Structure 1
Amino acid sequence: MVEPAPFETLDRLSCLELRSHGLPSGVVPRLYALARRGDPLCLQAAAALAADSARRVAFFTGIVHEKQPRGELDGPIGCAVLAAALTRLEREAFVFAPADVVPVLAAVRDVCGGGFAVMPDTEADPAAFDAAVSIERLGRNRKGVHHSIFGVPRDQSPVADDFFETLDESGRLTIGIGDGGNEIGFGSIFSAARRVVPRGRACGCPCGGGIVTTTRARYLLVASVSNFGAYAVSAALALLTGTPELAPRPQTVVGAMAAAVEAGGIDGGSMIPGRVADDGIAADAVAAVVTLMRATVENA
């Protein structure tokens, strides 16, 4: 029997609200409570990925718009860390993103290691995969529109939504990791999330459908920063498989953040070009969270 205590700690660490002023606060704990049924969320996701049936895994990430033409740091780094962990467990991992985000992902992969592929999301074929993981990827709302957390409509391809729906309909594994209710996976708690998330029912844009996505995932992992959720799942995999080296290292994460910025990625919290931060959280604070996750694994 798995001892749940360290996984509870990982969930709590992934939900620490450290994001910068101006971003919604107090929402993550309520969304987490809605998503939680049974075991800690990171344990549920890690156990599903550790199963023999999840041999070939597709990741989706990347949010591009005029202020972040190469995407933000939240999402790509979490994908790289978790994909690298899976390849060390002899899984095949492919990370799909808008074409403009691919150079950022390639730079991050160089830091994180792992033999995973990085490809434009237009090349994603659901027939080729056993499982899909979305990390900070916008999901469409009930009107088919993608939004920022502030209700701004985003011109994003529905390829990831379609991919998830195809896998979900065929009974294959889907995991969504998000922090705002507008990312793939939150469709699993759609009605409840609309009551909790600011602009959940009224986005303010002409579509009038609210920002909460209808795109579901079998497992929804809520975190204060989507990357934190991915780090928690990687640490949970380390515990489940008895492979402590799978737990993320702070120096690797900070190095990946710097590489992403160098490649054109931006901190989505401050929108300051060149700033090495994630959702407005400075690199040293991100490193502290990752250090605590790694300590949780080492001391379990």
Structure 2
Amino acid sequence: MPLTKSLTPAALRNIIRERIHPLENTSGIAAGFLQANVVILHKNLADDFEAFCRANGSPLPLLYRSQTGEWGCPPLAANADIRTDCPQYCVFENGVLTSKVADLLAYTSQLQNMVSFYLGCSFSFESALEKAGVPVRNVEQGKNVSMFRTARSCQRVGGFECPLVVTMRPVPQDKLDIVAQCTHLIPQAHGGPVHIGDPAMLGIRDLNQPEYGDPVEFRPGDVPVFWACGVTGVEAVQCSKPTLAFTHSPGCMFVTDKEDMAASPLTVKPSECPETFCITQNPQHFSVASKATVQKIRQLEEIAVEDPGQRGIRVLFVKDELIRSCLALSHASSVLITTGFPTHFKYDPPEETDGPPGAIAMAATLQALGKRVAVVTDQRALDMHRKIVQDAMERGVIKTAVPLLSFQNTGPDAAIHFLCHDGDPNKPRYDHLVAIERSGRASDGNYYNMRMVNIKHLVDPIDDLFIAASSIPGISTTGIGDGGNELGMGKVKDLVKAHMPNGGVIACDVSADFAVTTGVSNWGGYAVAYGLYLLNCCPIHLRYLQCGLGQPPTAQDQEAWANSLPTVEKEEEFLSILVKYGVRSGKTANLALEVDGLTFHPTHSDIIRRLREVTLPAPSSS
């Protein structure tokens, strides 16, 4: 009987059982039916292994746990026999692979005291991808899928611990959304991708040398997409070293009678439908979030770019820079923030009230999410900023102190040494740099306020850090600005020169990966904080962030994150601290509760309330 996609599972199991046709793997066969990884352990280990599966649900989606000594699996397949119905089995003794066998009949007596676990398999979603018009390269090439051991560790339970194993399929970049959506809808087959992009971010060195399966060829425009893999169960057996255990041979799955039952992405609620975004090209890295979360962050973006001061800032707006920045920050573990625009060169201090509030708001939320945060600013302003941060802690604006740093250009490698451990570009100290209302270097090397006054003598060369970061893999950057002369806004400098007053002179020449344009820069900092909260409360994004491992955040976690967010009360308090230290409104130089000539009440307070309403809608009354 020929082996085809239309072969029924029962017929396939009979072919395997009777040795009618040699079969190297089950990819692309009996399309549309769930396939299963198999792990068989002594009954004394069964409870711990089941708990291990529950704790690591993406690589180990549990389809069925057998009774002790049970050969069949009635919920999954009729007339099945786990001793004979996989094309090949692995035999492990004390965690060591001792042989590969065609069946387990010779071990029937031992199996009477053992429990079989049937775990979901990514082969199950391949037909759904093909129906959606996505090429499945391993099937096209007649190969087993590539499987890799990663540097990510599964959550330990009892004696079971091991690295995560993933499958990799090359996918055309324009198909990433549909791939994420189709596979997310089949959680029993591992669900959506756990990583898209550079394999080194998972600790994978060479896609041509998989630990299991075959290398698969890429076509132009393909991106490597990784799913959690049930061969993680094989790794768990090897690491836990049971006296005797059996597994399927990777790629040689047990085929069930269950159809994959994938829903159409068109019928799924936005909260359950992922969207993909490229967040860095060096290294190439994509992230995901639900459509519902993306929609809310776009609402934040639209609020933050409002222009009550009528500065014409909308011409610099680039859609979705906020969501990309928030996604990149969500993946970061260590963030460096810079602010400080000494526009008031005739006053001491020369700083303005735009920038520091947004910087502190971002820092508070990043800290609540468990990330390391530091602020770098001008040496001459360090003492003042230390006092401001201390006051902010005492008044409850921020919970934990933020380290304050300065940077001086002491030589050609100063920026690399500041950003990287031992000056090694392969060991970055920070994953992401954020500039918010930070004076940016123009093309002539000077720093200008909006009136074209050169304030270079008041500004340290922090731009050099952003320039250096652009060539260091693993560091991404964000610039938040409201005029085009701020650090990072070099990404839109052509628009600044064409549309902003004095743009040809003042335009910042230094780019960031993401240029977040706002009506007032503080609003961009607030929007980032709220966006990070939304992402980390998004199950789709959080699952991707954790590679499908571990447990979701607790209610206490989410409460701590919410408590870190800006409020009208906290921001008014922080603004009063700035005024105490002589920091003035940017446009008017007023020493008052004012930013960029706009009074805190009603303008800024209203923006904060609206950002909060998008992020934390009031509970419905019943």
TM-score by length of 2: 0.43
Alignment of 1:1-300 (within 5 A): 1=274, 2=290, 3=292, 4-19=294-309, 25-32=310-317, 35-36=318-319, 40-51=320-331, 54-64=332-342, 65-67=345-347, 69-106=349-386, 107-108=388-389, 109-110=392-393, 111-122=397-408, 125-127=418-420, 128-155=429-456, 156-171=458-473, 172-201=475-504, 210-242=505-537, 243=558, 244-273=562-591, 275-284=592-601, 285-299=603-617
Instruction: Please state which structure has a larger fraction of its residues in strand.
Output: 2
Structure with larger Rg: 2
Residue equivalent to 1:207: none
Which segments of 5 or more consecutive residues in structure 2 lack a partner in the other structure?
1-273, 275-289, 410-414, 421-428, 538-557
CA-atom RMSD in angstroms: 1.9
CA distance in structure 2 between the partners assigned to 1:159 and 1:133 by the alignment: 15
The Cα shift of 1:231 comes to 0.4
Does the residue aligned with 2:337 lie in a helix, a strand or coil? strand
CA distance in structure 1 between the partners assigned to 2:464 and 2:575 by the alignment: 29
Q: 1:68–1:31: structure 2 CA closer, same or farther, 3 Å change rule?
A: farther
Q: 1:81–1:104: structure 2 CA closer, same or farther, 3 Å change rule?
A: farther
Does the residue aligned with 2:462 lie in a helix, a strand or coil? helix
Task: Tell whether the 8 Å contact from 2:572 to 2:600 is kept in structure 1 after alignment.
Answer: yes
Task: Tell whether the 8 Å contact from 2:355 to 2:522 is kept in structure 1 after alignment.
Answer: yes
Task: Tell whether the 8 Å contact from 1:95 to 1:119 is kept in structure 2 after alignment.
Answer: yes
Instruction: Please state which structure has a larger fraction of its residues in helix.
Output: 1
Does the residue aligned with 1:136 lie in a helix, a strand or coil? strand
CA distance in structure 2 between the partners assigned to 1:157 and 1:70 by the alignment: 11
The Cα shift of 1:70 comes to 4.7
Task: Tell whether the 8 Å contact from 1:70 to 1:100 is kept in structure 2 after alignment.
Answer: no
CA distance in structure 1 between the partners assigned to 2:308 and 2:347 by the alignment: 23
The higher relative CO (CA closer than 8 Å, separation ≥ 6) is in 1
Count how many residue pairs are aligned between Structure 1 and Structure 2: 279
Task: Tell whether the 8 Å contact from 1:7 to 1:43 is kept in structure 2 after alignment.
Answer: yes
* One-letter amino acid matched to 1:293: L
Does the residue aligned with 2:483 lie in a helix, a strand or coil? coil
CA distance in structure 2 between the partners assigned to 1:290 and 1:118 by the alignment: 26
Q: 1:226–1:9: structure 2 CA closer, same or farther, 3 Å change rule?
A: same
Which segments of 5 or more consecutive residues in structure 1 lack a partner in the other structure?
20-24, 202-209
CA distance in structure 1 between the partners assigned to 2:569 and 2:382 by the alignment: 22
* Identity across matched positions, percent: 24
- Structure 1 window deviating more from structure 2 (150-159 vs 168-177): it is 150-159
CA distance in structure 1 between the partners assigned to 2:316 and 2:578 by the alignment: 29
The Cα shift of 1:247 comes to 3.1
Does the residue aligned with 1:94 lie in a helix, a strand or coil? strand
CA distance in structure 1 between the partners assigned to 2:322 and 2:564 by the alignment: 14
Task: Tell whether the 8 Å contact from 2:315 to 2:495 is kept in structure 1 after alignment.
Answer: no
The Cα shift of 1:43 comes to 1.6
CA distance in structure 1 between the partners assigned to 2:352 and 2:507 by the alignment: 20
1:235-281: per-residue Cα shift (whole Å, max 9, x none)?
Answer: 101111124334311111111000111122111122022x1111111
- Structure 1 window deviating more from structure 2 (119-128 vs 232-241): it is 119-128
